[in-house]
Chains A and B, each alone.
Chain A
Amino acid sequence: MTDELFMSRWRIILVLSLIALPVLLLLGMGAYDLWLRGWWWWAWWPLSGCLAAAYFLAWRWQKQQKLLRLDFEPPIHWTERDRHAWQMVEARARAADHVQPDKLVTFQFYVDTAQEMALELASFYHPGAKDPLAHLTIPEILAVVELAAHDLAKMVDQYMPAGHLLTIDNWRRARQAVDWYQTVSSVAWMVSALFNPVNTGLRYLASQVGLAQPMQKLQQNLLVWFYGAFVHRLGTYLIDLHSGRLRVGAQRYRELLEQPTEARVQPAQEQAEPEVRRVGLLFAGQTKVGKSSVINALVGEQFARTGVIRTTEGITRYELQPAGIATRLDLYDTVGYAHSGPSADQLRATLETAQNADLILLILHARNPARQADIQFLDDLHAYFEARPHLKKPPVLGVMTHIDLLSPALEWAPPYHWQAPTRPKEHQIEQAVAAAHHQFGERLVGVVPVCTAAQKNYGVQEWLLPAVAELLDQAHAVALLRCLHAEADAGKIRKVFEQLLATGKEALKILWKK
């Protein structure tokens, strides 16, 4: 193994040297010629200027992370607690700016950092525990090491040419080489000063200001970048470790996260975006409030192709997977609770199903303001996820049905611009939504008025879908729309998604948040 590595290394060095030799020769001879002709003084300035500009730009861009990025977003499956933990990780990565550059090249520093982080996050997840690390299993810890190491290896491969050959020794020597270069260049300056003290003095000053400074800063930035990437990777897996998601082992975890892309339906240009395999929407609400008709209106003509699966707890699952689309849309129609909330069994089943949902739609009747049971349900839902901080609570969107029954009851003449009401019915819709806002407050992210009565279908395309698109992340929203439209061309659907998002955000302002 070592031999093999050595063998390949000297071959590479030989090849590189042979390629470099003519260039170096030309470089030396050209410089000598310039010096002989007395042009050196004039040529030096623009050449140094170029170098200075390069260093400066590199330093500048790296500082804004435009060269090598730390573009890390917390994964969507993370819970609120995970996001808090992530803030601690980020703080540590940022603190790297103030670490001595010498430290950043010692291996021990990385080991120490890893230990400190492990302890810090463990105390966060298990506050008050005597030894917060004690309960972790060895395979879990190994999984963290494996995953973080794997990621760093990928990073090195990606950004460092011939990085797979990089040894600790090389890492150290790289740093020494910089020192040697500085020593050699100092000697060169001194020799040069003997021949032409005034010229050399001027150039020396210029190079110290214009070249050495930016170069040092750039060096520092690159090290900080690497360190930051290290902290981020490690932090991610430590958070997943403490949330219990690594119990499945590194191999399975990686499989779960990296959903396979199916070449069959996936045009080449989208392979960057992972295909979502399942989108789950849960429908809750009081008895006979119109949950099924909302599902019907949402799925539209696809409804005939929807599979119906009844589970034992009374929850009905509608499965929609049009041909040629890798995503399955699961719509959970839960048991409608009566006046005082669902029974204990039904409630538990609903809450357990909510784990599988990307979004919960709470169906409300526009003309029945007795909503204590709904508030009770939402509070139960909140408590359920509060008690399980490793689970992420899906957002809950209110859907107000039967807006056609609002006064004046005999009129039905859409479109109704309830966000800027002028007609009596528009005022009524606006007031009904405002009343729900008042009743539910932060428990809902918003309320969307719809009418799902036969032949009076209104509001699903106009308001419900834009709101849903805004609440799901792009991948899930696109997957949902593909299922609803039975459209194999994801590019086409992405346009629909963007249009929906634009209407939702700009014109309608359906959601209450922020």
Chain B
Amino acid sequence: MLETIKQFFTGEHRHAELQTKLDELRRQTPIPVFWLFGKTQSGKTSIIKFLTGADDAEIGQGFQPCTRFSRSYLFPTAEAPLLNFLDTRGLDEPGYDCAEDLARFDQLAHVVIVTVKVLDHALENVLRQLRVIRRKRPQRPIVLALTNLHEAYPQEQHPFPESVFQQPDFERNPDFGEKKPGLFESIAAHKERFQGLYDFLVPLDLTPPAEGFAEPHYGGAHLKHVLVQALPAAYRQTLIALEETTGALQDLFAQHALPHILGYSSLAASAGAIPIPWVDLFVLPGIQTRMIYHLAKLYGQPLSGERFLELAGTLGLGMLVRQVTREVVKFIPFVGSVAGAALAGSTTFALGKAFCYYYSAVHKGQVPRTEDLRRYYQEQLAAAEQWWRKKQENNVIGHP
């Protein structure tokens, strides 16, 4: 008895408990899962790069093998993920059979993105496996991404405005067909070949800026739009949040940190949504502390995290002040949990942003004044709370 009590108060016990709690939370947090399905070099990594803003090295290191033929990339980290990308690498290997991947991903994957180079017509294997995937769950959306459009018009800039490809039956439009017959014949052939195997068609050309295309994310906006549509409503918000929050940022530090902050905030929101009072009492500080340490490590300044946490503690930012309010709110059934989730999520978000503010100032050689830090935190919190509440309401309406 005494041992158990002692254990309860030691850090190790708390650490292990937090870990199991986080695992559980990750399962409950709505993380969109994209199953990327396509041959080698057909543009899968470009799509991940475009959607996340991560660079090649990050993506390369982030991938973890999950089946014999596949790997997965949890963005931004496996601890507090926002998006999950499953990449089927084995499609080019002899005797690849998607059965093993299906067994693993079928329940998991929300959207299948099939990448096909627009001029590649050697697709026998892709088609055969895709039919199996389609048959297994016909209602799961499949996005057919036709990539590398520029290969159809070598050494030329993109000759059409992006909007051309959003018109219905654009490939039959004689104006465009006459200009680049090869491209549109190819697209028509793909449409016929994949008939009944896709729900959205996205012609696309994501090129590295060094290639010199005037529009390096050609068709990218359309892809994002399609993905938001294709995702189940509960999973849309993450993508939208990522787009909205990172898009406006000028500061590179913050831009890089934001997906991480969003990831931890989502976890915190899940924790807050548990409709039992006081359960998240130790989980939330745990999540927030881990986020700050993680961000500090990300910036290569582990010590700055510690100093910031001390400061935040004395200022009453984040977990402490709001804690009691949150737990009280939870006594109100249903609505309570949503408000709890919104509060937990937005305090975590605001705390993360406050750390970025702090770090950025320290980096410039000045310790920010406490009242400035507090004001910044309050601003972020107010904005985040508002956004979170809206999101939760949307979800509740969308998925009662």
Contacts and interface: CB of A to CB of B under 8 A. Distances in A.
Contacts of A402: 151
Most A-side CB within 10 Å, residue of B41, B121, B126: B121
B122 A405 contact: no
Most B-side CB within 10 Å, residue of A337, A367, A368, A412: A368
User: Could you say which interface size class chain A belongs to?
Assistant: 20 to 34
A398 B373 CA distance: 64
Contacts of B156: 410
B210 A408 contact: yes
B163 to A, nearest CB: 23
A460 interface: no
A432 to B, nearest CB: 11
Q: Give the secondary structure class of B's interface.
A: loop
A372 B124 contact: no
Contacts of B94: 372, 376
Given A338-B122, A339-B122, A372 B155 contact: no
Interface residues of B, number: 31
A432 B269 CA distance: 48
B120 A409 contact: no
Given A339-B126, A372-B93, A407 B41 contact: no
A336 B122 contact: yes
A407 B148 CA distance: 12
Contacts of A407: 208, 210-211
A405 B120 contact: no
Interface in A277-319: 286-289
B65 to A, nearest CB: 19
B212 A410 contact: yes
B123 interface: yes
Interface string B313-354: 000000000000000000000000000000000000000000
Interface in A357-382: 365, 367-373, 376
Contact of B212 (A288, A405, A408): A408
Most B-side CB within 10 Å, residue of A289, A369, A410: A410
B213 interface: yes
B119 A410 contact: no
A289 B151 contact: no
Contacts of B212: 408, 410
Interface string B120-137: 111111101000000000
Contacts of A337: 122
A289 B148 contact: no
Given A287-B121, A339-B126, A372-B92, 12 more contacts: A288-B121, A338-B123, A338-B125, A339-B124, A365-B120, A370-B122, A402-B151, A407-B208, A409-B151, A410-B211, A410-B213, A456-B154
16 contacts: A288-B119, A288-B120, A338-B121, A338-B124, A339-B122, A339-B126, A369-B40, A371-B92, A402-B151, A408-B210, A409-B150, A409-B207, A410-B155, A410-B213, A411-B155, A412-B155
**A-B interface, 10 closest residue pairs, ranked by CB to CB distance from nearest:** A338-B124, A339-B125, A370-B39, A286-B122, A339-B124, A370-B92, A287-B122, A288-B121, A338-B122, A340-B125
Interface of A: 286-289, 336-340, 365, 367-373, 376, 402, 404-405, 407-412, 453, 456
